[in-house]
């Protein structure tokens, strides 16, 4: 980990949904920059264990916590474990998310509720739990992972109603948190476009080609590129940035 600038030396970060995809890349990057990382996951225990081993093998510090961040009891337990092990919370990355790829009329109430719980309610619960700790410490950074589906992206980003609603709601909630928790805590959003993760694998080849066509840079993003944006917002370099949405999409909303 010596190749990095160690921008987060000595800090403690919680990353939800960190076992795979974007969350995994974020956890690795924050650890490489010196942060002690709490790897939250729900079901992917093998992937979480592998990530923990990888971080420790590279000289970093981390722990794993299996829990459903849409449940207040699990969130409270996760933060308690973090404090017991590392003594503080400096950074919260709300990354956990799910998607049911169904058109509006084919979707179900259960899928709507589950999506809003995991993608949006979790941001409320986790932020509410760590905010008092950060305020007592005198500083904190909260970074929420939304999507171009939550902003003025192309029509193809607006196919899944619950997902788009949850990601748009996350941006609105971020603005409220930024105003409510200032001047102590900075709260911002990263809104990725199509990124090379398991979610991309679930799309048909036809859908992938259509997304590439509407992306000016003509490629999909890499999880590491999203992680770099999160690092900026989690570091001291963004101390004068709050309530903002940083879009990482290869220019997709331009189309």
What structural domains and CATH numbers belong to the chain? Answer: 12-248 (3.40.50.720)
Residue 119 · residue 98 · CB < 8 Å: yes
Cα separation of the two ends of the chain: 38
- Ranges of residues in the chain with a pLDDT under 50 are 1-2
Catalytic site includes residue 41: no
Residue 151 · residue 245 · CB < 8 Å: yes
Sort residue 129 into left (φ over 0), alpha (ψ -120 to 50) or beta.
alpha
Is residue 23 helix, strand or coil? helix
- State how far the Cα of 177 lies from the Cα of 108, in Å rounded to an integer: 30
Residue 146 · residue 170 · CB < 8 Å: yes
Give residue 226's pLDDT: 97
Give residue 1's pLDDT: 43
Please name the residue that has the structure tokens 């990530």. Answer: 51
Burial of 175 (0-12, 13-18, 19+ CB in 10 A): middle
- State how far the Cα of 30 lies from the Cα of 42, in Å rounded to an integer: 20
Residue 255 · residue 154 · CB < 8 Å: yes
Give residue 188's pLDDT: 98
- State how far the Cα of 76 lies from the Cα of 99, in Å rounded to an integer: 25
Task: Note the helical H segments in the chain.
Answer: 21-32, 45-57, 72-86, 109-116, 122-137, 161-181, 198-201, 205-213, 223-234
CA 121 to chain CA centroid, nearest Å:
13
Neighbour tally for 202: CB within 10 Å: 10
CA 211 to chain CA centroid, nearest Å:
22
Residue 115 · residue 162 · CB < 8 Å: yes
Give residue 213's pLDDT: 87
Residue 223 · residue 196 · CB < 8 Å: yes
Strands (E), 108-213: 140-145, 185-192
The reported pTM is 0.93
């Amino acid at each position: 980990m010596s190749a990095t600038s160690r921008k987060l030396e000595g800090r403690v970060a919680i990353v939800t949904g960190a076992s795979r995809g974007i969350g995994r890349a974020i956890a690795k990057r924050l650890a490489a920059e010196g942060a002690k990382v709490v790897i939250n996951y729900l079901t992917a225990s093998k992937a979480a264990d592998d990530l923990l081993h990888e971080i420790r093998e590279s000289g970093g510090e981390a722990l794993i916590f299996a829990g459903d961040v849409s449940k207040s009891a699990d969130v409270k337990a996760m933060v308690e474990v973090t404090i017991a092990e590392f003594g503080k919370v400096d950074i919260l990355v709300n990354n956990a998310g799910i998607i049911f790829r169904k058109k509006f009329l084919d979707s179900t109430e259960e899928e709507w509720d589950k999506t809003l719980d995991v993608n949006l309610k979790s941001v409320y619960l986790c932020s509410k739990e760590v905010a008092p700790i950060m305020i007592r410490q005198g500083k904190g950074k909260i970074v929420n992972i939304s999507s171009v589906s939550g902003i003025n992206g192309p029509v193809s980003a607006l196919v899944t109603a619950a997902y788009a609603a949850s990601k748009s709601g996350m941006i609105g909630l971020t603005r409220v948190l930024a105003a409510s928790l200032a001047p102590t805590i900075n709260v911002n959003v990263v809104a990725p476009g199509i990124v090379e993760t398991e979610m991309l694998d679930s799309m048909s080849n036809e859908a992938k080609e259509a997304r590439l066509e509407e992306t000016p840079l003509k490629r999909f993003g890499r999880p590491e590129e999203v992680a770099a944006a999160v690092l900026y917002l989690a570091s001291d370099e963004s101390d004068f940035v709050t309530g903002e949405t940083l879009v990482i999409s290869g220019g997709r909303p331009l189309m």
